């Protein structure tokens, strides 16, 4: 039997798996991905890529431009409505991603959320990962997995032939029912399966229905079914999702699908061509832990959530990007093995928060008779987009930290555990964001009187073998708007240490008599050294 070795084996070729492979390949970590399907999805599935996910993908050359070229419409006018059908007058508008709601984004991030179906995003993730050298194997199934103290042994099957892969670490991004999670016996919580949905891709001319109606996603509630419909710009492919019970899975014949599309649009004689159909479960399932030895859960394997709110796909991308930089630090010897425990400590609270918020949204958008035993929606959903905080051994929280996991991104603090604030800088006549400084390693930002910090940073980085970029703001880079000190909570002699994911790990508001010892202790603690 053929045997292969790879530092990281990824199981699953959706958002979480592809983003893990992409960001590992970009960091020159050899990675193999296996996916049982023959290719990426042709169904739109999740819609949109949020600003935090875009920040994490932005460092990979060409990614932001490629995604923006699909459709940048979500930033200037995605609308969501509740109605019996597309032709119903005066639909109830429940969300408006308008200038009023998201006009603050240019103040806090250099990116915009992207409006794009998952099928198109996956295609771009796959192509770029392969260009960077990731070994992506579709039509390949994981058969078994065993781990020991030194690594993981997996048997994979392609074309009826089995082979053995020996990996240092495995990322299980294999979906809601996650065979890997089952093999390891990892427990879950949550409300479980909430129902099933048949997703019907169809071609029809909806021009008269969508013209001058800035509605992209409809929640349909009528006498025949409840569901959703995702419309394009008129002529072309659209998607209808119909909620149904387990016993109805076999009833979605092509004729029935055409009938349902006509009911959903409110046009009895509409000319409809069914392109594809797929059934998936809508569920609220949370893994009780994201790590089992050398295996990590990501995406739906870690947190399956209802689609109401549109953050499931972005959260999966964030999982993959987050795992990639942590695995890179450990595999390159910059961090100790225990550093990987911080993935569970930081990502699981975020996964739970997001899944619960989407469950709450589902309760709001369901027919009144079904709105029972659901949590309340978030008071400020904006905080869940860019204001999430982390608490783990990879963060040196300051005395008096309140332990909160959300803060208002419109009022950045720069405190450890928070996402490093966006500040416009000038580099040799070119405007950049602080966000652009972080992904390639740790970054030490010092005030204009903080050169002692950067000199100490050079010595500590050489001693520990850590990739550390050192910047004196006001000398190496120009603070264009004079906002860096305020947003990062430091004076002219202070310094901030930012991780590769753009989160503040440590901060000194002012100068220190022994910056070298201080930085050495901070980095050793953060990196589990």
Active-site residue list: 219
Closest CA to 95 of 74, 68, 113, 109: 74
Closest CA to 440 of 329, 364, 343, 304: 329
Neighbours of 172 (CB within 10 A): 31
Torsion-angle region of residue 507: left (phi > 0), alpha (psi -120 to 50) or beta? beta
Which tokens hold the place of 130?
A: 């392969």
CB-based burial of residue 84 (10 Å sphere; 0-12 exposed, 13-18 middle, 19+ buried)? middle
Q: What angle do CA 203, 208, 213 make, to 5 degrees?
A: 105
Q: Which residue has the tokens 């349909």?
A: 220
CA–CA distance, 178 with 163 (Å, rounded to integer): 21
Phi/psi of residue 185, nearest 5 degrees: 65, 35
Phi/psi of residue 369, nearest 5 degrees: -65, -20
Closest CA to 392 of 527, 237, 497: 527
Phi/psi of residue 499, nearest 5 degrees: -80, 170
SS3 497: strand
- CA-based max dimension of the chain: 80
Q: What angle do CA 378, 375, 315 make, to 5 degrees?
A: 55
CA–CA distance, 365 with 358 (Å, rounded to integer): 11
Three-state secondary structure readout of 294-322: CEEECHHHCEECCCCCCCHHHHHHHHHHH
Q: Are 321 and 374 in contact (CB under 8 A)?
A: no
Q: Are 420 and 409 in contact (CB under 8 A)?
A: no
Q: At what angle do helices 515-526 and 451-464 cross, to 10 degrees?
A: 50
- Polymer length in residues for the chain: 529
SS3 335: coil
CA–CA distance, 248 with 256 (Å, rounded to integer): 11
CA–CA distance, 413 with 251 (Å, rounded to integer): 55
CA–CA distance, 301 with 316 (Å, rounded to integer): 9
Torsion-angle region of residue 528: left (phi > 0), alpha (psi -120 to 50) or beta? left
E strand or H helix that includes residue 163? strand 161-172
Sign of CA dihedral 78, 82, 88, 89: negative
């Amino acid at each position: 039997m053929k045997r292969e070795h790879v530092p990281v084996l990824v199981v699953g070729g959706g958002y979480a798996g592809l983003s893990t492979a992409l960001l590992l390949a970009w960091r020159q970590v050899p990675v193999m991905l296996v996916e049982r399907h023959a290719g990426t999805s042709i169904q739109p599935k999740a819609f949109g890529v949020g600003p935090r996910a875009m920040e994490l993908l932005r460092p990979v050359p060409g990614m932001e431009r490629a995604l923006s070229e699909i459709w940048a419409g979500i930033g200037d006018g995605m609308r969501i409505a509740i109605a019996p059908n597309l032709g119903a007058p005066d639909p109830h508008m429940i969300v408006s991603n308008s200038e009023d709601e998201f006009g603050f984004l240019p103040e806090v991030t250099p990116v915009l959320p992207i409006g794009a179906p998952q099928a198109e995003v996956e295609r771009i993730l796959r192509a770029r990962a392969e260009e960077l050298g990731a070994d992506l194997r579709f039509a390949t199934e994981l058969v078994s997995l065993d781990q020991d103290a030194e690594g993981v042994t997996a048997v994979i099957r392609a074309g009826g032939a089995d082979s053995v892969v020996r990996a240092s670490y495995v990322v299980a991004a294999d979906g809601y029912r996650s065979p890997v999670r089952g093999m390891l016996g990892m427990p879950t919580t949550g409300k479980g399966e909430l129902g099933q949905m048949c997703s019907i891709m169809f071609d029809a001319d909806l021009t008269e229905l969508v013209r001058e109606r800035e509605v992209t996603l409809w929640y349909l509630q009528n006498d025949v079914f409840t569901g959703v419909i995702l419309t394009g710009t008129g002529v072309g492919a659209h998607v209808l999702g119909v909620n149904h019970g387990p016993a109805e899975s076999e009833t979605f014949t092509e004729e029935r699908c055409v009938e349902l599309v006509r009911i959903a649009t409110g046009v009895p004689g509409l000319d409809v061509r069914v392109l594809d159909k797929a059934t998936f479960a809508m569920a609220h399932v949370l893994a009780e832990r994201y790590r089992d030895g050398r295996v990590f859960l990501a995406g739906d394997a870690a947190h399956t959530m209802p689609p109401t709110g549109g953050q499931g796909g972005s959260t999966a991308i964030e999982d993959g990007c987050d795992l990639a930089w942590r695995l890179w630090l450990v595999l390159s010897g910059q961090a100790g093995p225990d550093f990987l425990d911080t993935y569970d400590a930081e990502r699981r609270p975020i996964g739970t928060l997001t899944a619960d918020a989407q469950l709450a949204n589902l309760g709001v958008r369901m027919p009144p008779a079904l709105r029972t035993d659901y949590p309340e929606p978030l008071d400020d959903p904006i905080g869940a987009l860019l204001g999430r905080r982390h608490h783990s051994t990879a963060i040196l929280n300051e005395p008096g930290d309140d332990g909160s996991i959300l803060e208002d991104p419109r009022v950045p603090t720069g405190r450890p555990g928070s996402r490093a604030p966006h500040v416009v800088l000038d580099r040799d006549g070119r405007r950049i964001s602080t966000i652009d400084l972080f992904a390639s390693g740790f970054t030490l930002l010092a005030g204009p009187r903080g050169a002692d910090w950067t000199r100490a940073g050079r010595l500590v980085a050489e001693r520990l073998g850590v990739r550390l970029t050192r910047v004196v703001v006001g000398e190496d880079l120009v603070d264009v708007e004079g906002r860096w000190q305020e947003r990062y909570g430091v004076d002219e002699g202070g310094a901030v240490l930012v991780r590769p994911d753009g989160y503040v790990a440590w901060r000194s508001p002012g100068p220190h008599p022994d910056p070298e010892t201080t930085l050495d202790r901070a980095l050793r603690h953060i990196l589990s050294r």
